Structures are given as C-alpha cells and as structure tokens.
Structure 1
Amino acid sequence: MFDNLGAFEVGALLLLALLIFGDRLPAVISDGLRMVRNLRNMARNATTDLSRELGTDIQLEDLHPKAFIRKHLLSEEDEQAIRKPLQGIYDDLRTDVTGVHQELKDVAAATDLRSGPAPAATPPRPRSFDTDAT
C-alpha cells in the first residue's frame, strides 16, 4: 500500500499528523489500531459463522463471489462442464487470431522487401472549405 512512499513523504505525513492531532497523536494511533483489530475479529467471526452454517471451511479470500461459487457450490465436474464449450471457442479464436497475425507479419515483410527504403513523408495539403455551403 505504501510502497511508493519515500522517507521524505513518510516524514511529511508524520509531521502533518503531529500538527493536526498534537498531543493526542498517541491516543489517535492506538484508537486506529484498536479499530483495525476489531474489524479483523469481526471478519474472522463472520467467516467462522458462515463456515459453521454451510458445513465447509471458508477463508476470508473465499468470500469473493466468484471464488465462493467455484470452491463451495460447484463440483469439479460442474466447473469443467461450464468451461468446456467456452474453451473450444477460445481455442478456435486464438488459432484464428494467431493465423491472421502471422499473415499480417508476412505481408508487412513482403511489402518492406519490395518497396526498399521508405520515402519521406509529405505533409497533408490544407483543405479549402466552402463557407457558403450549408
């Protein structure tokens, strides 16, 4: 989260916090840490309760809807049955795109060989507009 902060930025943030909160800074920090601890405990209790209700082991990462469905509601056979038709389409599309990409490279290479050095680009001519036309 704070990977992009250097020593100067951290020092500036600490100085700003000291100016804003003054002597209450240690109390504010301890209140913030207590709040984070309470949120972690609430999340842990929620996952424990959900695990107990569903009769399966649930981790906090599993609460993402896609991960939850994939891990706890679908069997491996169900997941493969869902993926199989789409996998065939994906493979066909990938093969077609690879073929088109290779053909474009071949055409570009052939064009480069025939044309020799590229001519200097000429700027486009300005267009004249008919101001009476509507």
Structure 2
Amino acid sequence: MFENLNWWEIGALLLLALLIFGDRLPAVINDGLRLVRNLRNMARNATGDLSRELGTDIQLEDLHPKAFIRKHLLSEEDEQAIRKPLQGVYDNLRADVTAVHNDLKDVAAAADLRSGGRSTTATGGAPAPAPRTSYDDAT
C-alpha cells in the first residue's frame, strides 16, 4: 500500500494525523485496525460459504471473474485452445511492428545521409532549416 511513498511523505502523513486527531490518534488507529480485521473475516466467511455451496476450494483471489472462469470452469485444454489463435495473432502483430520499426530506422538513416551528415536529433527530430538569404530593397 505504501510502496509509492517515500519516508518523508509517510512522516508528513503521520504528523498530519497527529495534528488532526491529537490524543485520540491511538483510538482511531485501533478502530481502523478493527475495521480491517472485520472486513477480512467477512471476506473469509463469504469465500468459505461460496466454497461449500459450489463444492470446490475458492480463495479470495479467485473471486475475480477472469481468475474464477480460468480456474473453475475451463480445463487446461480449453484454455490452450482459446489461447492458440490469439497467440498467432499476437506473434504476427509483433513481427509487423518490428518490421515497421526497422523500416523507420532505415528511412531515418537514409534521411540523415542525404542531409549531408547533419544530425536531425539536435532539433527534436526535424531537419535543420536551410540558411536564409537576405535581399536588399534596392527598388
């Protein structure tokens, strides 16, 4: 839960909680922990009831629809039969993307050679502008 927070942010949150709740902070923490324990017990009881009703062992993670179907309704052969055509499409798409990527590299290298060796990356990928000629207003 806190893997995206660094120590300074966690300390700031603790200080903010201390300022908001003051002396009641330990009671608030206990109430929060009790709520989490009750929710876990409720989820455990619900999965136990569901396991008894279905006659199979169900874990809390299995309640995600994709995981439930994969684990309890499809056999391994069915899953492989579903994945096989999709794997072919994925492999073809990956090969096409790789070919396009290589073609773009070749075009960029050719454009760099035609520009006389001027680097196109200095201007963010756009070719360097041609030098401007100035004209006198001698009319």
TM-score w.r.t. length of structure 1: 0.75
Amino acid at match of 1:91: D
Residue 28 to residue 109, structure 1, CA distance change in 2 (3 Å)? same
Deviation for aligned residue 1:19: 3.5
Amino acid at match of 1:31: D
Residue 109 to residue 58, structure 1, CA distance change in 2 (3 Å)? same
Q: Which whole-Å CA distance do the structure 2 matches of 1:12 and 1:114 have between them? A: 57
CA RMSD of aligned residues (A): 2.3
Corresponding residue for residue 20 of structure 2? 20
Identity %: 83
Deviation for aligned residue 1:38: 0.5
* SS, match of residue 2 in structure 2: coil
Residue 80 to residue 10, structure 1, CA distance change in 2 (3 Å)? closer
Q: Which whole-Å CA distance do the structure 2 matches of 1:10 and 1:94 have between them? A: 42
Q: Which whole-Å CA distance do the structure 1 matches of 2:84 and 2:90 have between them? A: 10
Corresponding residue for residue 38 of structure 1? 38
Corresponding residue for residue 99 of structure 2? 99
Higher relative contact order (CA 8 A, sep 6+): 1
Residue 47 to residue 89, structure 1, CA distance change in 2 (3 Å)? same
Q: Which whole-Å CA distance do the structure 2 matches of 1:95 and 1:11 have between them? A: 49
Unaligned runs of 5+ in 1: 123-134
Corresponding residue for residue 110 of structure 1? 110
Q: Which whole-Å CA distance do the structure 1 matches of 2:10 and 2:109 have between them? A: 53
Q: Which whole-Å CA distance do the structure 2 matches of 1:91 and 1:70 have between them? A: 23
TM-score w.r.t. length of structure 2: 0.73
Corresponding residue for residue 125 of structure 1? none
Corresponding residue for residue 55 of structure 1? 55
- The 10-residue stretch of structure 1 (79-88 or 9-18) with the greater mean CA deviation from structure 2: 9-18
Amino acid at match of 2:7: G
- The 10-residue stretch of structure 1 (36-45 or 95-104) with the greater mean CA deviation from structure 2: 95-104
- The 10-residue stretch of structure 1 (112-121 or 26-35) with the greater mean CA deviation from structure 2: 112-121
Residue 11 to residue 103, structure 1, CA distance change in 2 (3 Å)? closer
